[in-house]
Amino acid sequence: MATTHLHIVMVPWSAFGYLIPFFQLALQLAKAGIKLSFISTPGNIKRLSNVPSNIATLLDLVVFPLPNLDDEQQLPEGCEATVDIPFEKIQYLKIAYDLLRQPVKQFVIDQKPDWILIDVIPHWMMEIAQEQHIPLVNFSVFFGFIL
């Protein structure tokens, strides 16, 4: 495994249709010798597979608790992914997810990664990347279906 000095921060949306492909990409990039910080919530991180020991030093699973909303009826405690809530409450998950902006920004400032990799949901990462002069990559995950 060739070691590089690259460090990539990954910020996937809190849906397993995003988390799993991002995590699989993170595993492959770590196998190629790239350092990664994979950001998600405690419950989502616990649901991912274990990181193989041979790449554990290259793949850091970074946990940020999902902020609580004022009204727990909107997003009950422990609901951290779309799988945890009915469709009509996903908007509240998005509101809570957007509240991760400041702690993730501070993490990026502290870590000074070479790249940031996101999907379309954390739109606020574009501003953070621009402010910090860090290249941003959009990793798009699309699903096919038959009607």
How many residues comprise the chain?
147
How far apart (Å, rounded) are the C-alpha atoms in residues 123 and 45? 21
Instruction: Find the domain containing 59 and state its range.
Output: 7-138
Does 20 map to a domain? yes
CATH number of the CATH domain containing 18: 3.40.50.2000
Does 66 map to a domain? yes
Q: How many structural domains is the chain composed of?
A: 1
Does 83 map to a domain? yes
Output the six-digit token pair for 15: 């849906």
Output the six-digit token pair for 10: 């990954």
pLDDT at 77: 84
Q: Evaluate the CA torsion angle 134, 13, 90, 100 in order and state its sign.
A: negative
pLDDT tens-digit series, residues 82-139: 999 999 999 999 999 999 999 999 999 999 999 999 998 999 999 999 999 999 999 9
Query: What's the rounded mean pLDDT across residues 38-46?
Result: 97
pLDDT tens-digit series, residues 61-98: 999 999 988 776 788 888 999 999 999 999 999 999 99
Radius of gyration for the chain, computed over Cα atoms and rounded to the nearest angstrom: 15
pLDDT tens-digit series, residues 8-35: 999 999 999 999 999 999 999 999 999 9
Does 2 map to a domain? no
Does 144 map to a domain? no
pTM attached to this predicted model: 0.91
Does 145 map to a domain? no
